[in-house]
Amino acid sequence: MEFKIDTKEAFTLITPLTNLIDANLTDALQDKCEELGQSGSNNYIVILDNCTDIDNTSPAALVAMHEVMYSNDSSLVFTGLQKGVLNKLKEDESDLLLNIAPSVQEAIDIVSMEILERDLFGEEE
């Protein structure tokens, strides 16, 4: 599975270069995040501009990935969702369990706020 990767100081942009979100993509995305995490990156924005369809098993896989990231004090935001993909996520209400932003800039804002919140809550402990 091919991805375009753009590493910034506080987050990494990951753009899958495929048109279908399926088990292969979700597995590869999980592996890529783990690989990037080993090099110090732990906040991810997944840009799904190229993905025009999603299979029936992938929403649950994306939610599971989201939950793992947040339990490890990482951020995961999806952006660039095409209408068909978003509609499928809404069918089983997966959209309510994922961080979805309408634009890359808004995804960056979400990640930045989550980093700030973790820093603030970490100081209080």
Output the pLDDT for position 123: 63
Helix (H) or strand (E) holding 33: helix 23-38
Tens digits of per-residue pLDDT, 88-114? Answer: 999 999 999 999 999 999 999 999 999
Task: For residue 4, count CB atoms less than 10 angstroms from its CB and return exposed for 0-12, middle for 13-18, buried for 19 or more.
Answer: exposed
What letter would DSSP give residue 98?
S
Q: Which CATH class is domain 3-124?
A: alpha beta
Tens digits of per-residue pLDDT, 61-95? Answer: 999 999 999 999 999 999 999 999 999 999 999 99
Tens digits of per-residue pLDDT, 30-45? Answer: 999 999 999 888 999 9
- In the chain, where are the structural domains located? 3-124
Question: What angle is formed at CA 67 by the lines to CA 63 and CA 69, rounded to 5 degrees?
Answer: 115
